[in-house]
Amino acid sequence: MVAELDRVIPKDWEMVSGAGHCAYFQTHMRGRKPEQFHVLREFGAIGNSISIAIGVAAAKRNGKVVLLEGDGSLIMHIQELETIKRHGLRLLICVLNDGAYGAEIHKLRQDGLDESGAVFGRTDFGSIARGFGLRGATIADLGQLAALMQSHDAQDTAEIWNIPISDQVTSPSMRRLKAKGHGVM
């Protein structure tokens, strides 16, 4: 999925990512200038990347900003979609939706603990976006992305792409810890 996003999102766009499990997948976006990547890891909490994306979109005002975020992080500050709408910001939000707090389920699994407290189900972010007066779509097939990108380019509002992903795919750091046999909690 990330490779296809990399293919369809133009290389001159600003890239924003969250601090959760999905943060690592942005590293697969190739051929982009380092100064186009906007991340905040020092704070160490999920949920703050939508604020960064709003700031980048407000500063750039060119509609060439994408937020690559996890579902757990985005849902923490979903009310900011109203801010995006009110200020007329053109922003593409790609939600990697595994139905859980991704880092937590992988840590819990690694340690053989019950993961149910970190699982909340597949939020329909496309519908939520439309409820805020923005555009929204759920991706069911990789082939949709090129047409969605073309459609996004032709309009002047923010949009969320709800992208269901497997909860079995782990970040490189989690894979390294697992391979070494370390617990991660």
- Whether 53 is in a domain gets the answer yes
2-42: per-residue pLDDT in tens?
Answer: 899 999 999 999 999 987 777 777 878 899 999 999 887 76
- Whether 22 is in a domain gets the answer yes
- Whether 184 is in a domain gets the answer no
β-bridge partners, 136:
160
How many domains does the chain fold into? 1
149-162: per-residue pLDDT in tens?
Answer: 999 999 999 999 99
- Whether 111 is in a domain gets the answer yes
HEC secondary structure over the chain: CHHHHHHHCCCCCEEEECCCHHHHHHHHCCCCCHHHEECCCCCCCCCCHHHHHHHHHHHHCCCCEEEEEEHHHHHHCCCHHHHHHHCCCCCEEEEEECCECHHHHHHHHHCCCCCHHHECCCCCHHHHHHHCCCEEEECCCCCHHHHHHHHHHCCCCCEEEEEECCCCCCCHHHHHHHHCCCCCC
- Whether 185 is in a domain gets the answer no
């097939």: which residue's tokens? 141
- Whether 160 is in a domain gets the answer yes
> What's the whole-number average pLDDT of the chain?
90
- Whether 85 is in a domain gets the answer yes
Q: Give me the CATH number covering residue 165.
A: 3.40.50.970
Under-50 pLDDT residues of the chain? 184-185
- Whether 69 is in a domain gets the answer yes
Rg (CA), the chain: 16
- Domain extent for 84: 2-179
